[in-house]
Amino acid sequence: MAEEQAVKSGSRANLIHHVVSHYIAAQREFNRAAEHCVLKGWPDKKAALRETFRVQELFCDREAMRLDYWTNSDRDEAEWRSYTSVAAVRTRLGQDWTAAEEQALAQNDAHYAEILG
């Protein structure tokens, strides 16, 4: 339903935000299921495994916060139309994320700055 509203509104940024947010949510769900299964198989490694999965959760948090920041700060429809896959958006949020964006987000979001630690 929200995806339909984004399409109807004509905002490519909203549509991309919706799709990538769902992708991140699915990734979180997969990580929780994987953690549960792995802990069953290796209960003696519980502390190390929890730490590993916590790092993955922090990566999801970082990506979600970058996505929110990016979609709220950049409304250039021409640029948004160039993103045609989740992989392209994830590249933008990862290796193409700029130092200026990193600094601005860290200054405006204490939780983000804490994650960067």
Give the chain's domain count: 1
CA distance 104 to 101: 5
Residue of higher predicted confidence among 25 and 4: 25
The pTM of the full predicted model, rounded to 2 decimals, is 0.85
CA distance 93 to 22: 15
What would the pLDDT profile of 21-53 be if each residue is shown by its tens digit? 999 999 999 999 999 999 999 999 999 999 999
Q: Whole domain around residue 66: which residue ranges? A: 2-116
pLDDT at 115 over 80: yes
Q: What's CA 37's distance to the chain center, in Å?
A: 24
21, 68 in Cβ contact below 8 A?
no
> What does the pLDDT read at residue 54?
94
Mean pLDDT: which of 3-7, 42-46, 90-94 is highest?
A: 90-94
For residues 44-67, average pLDDT: 95
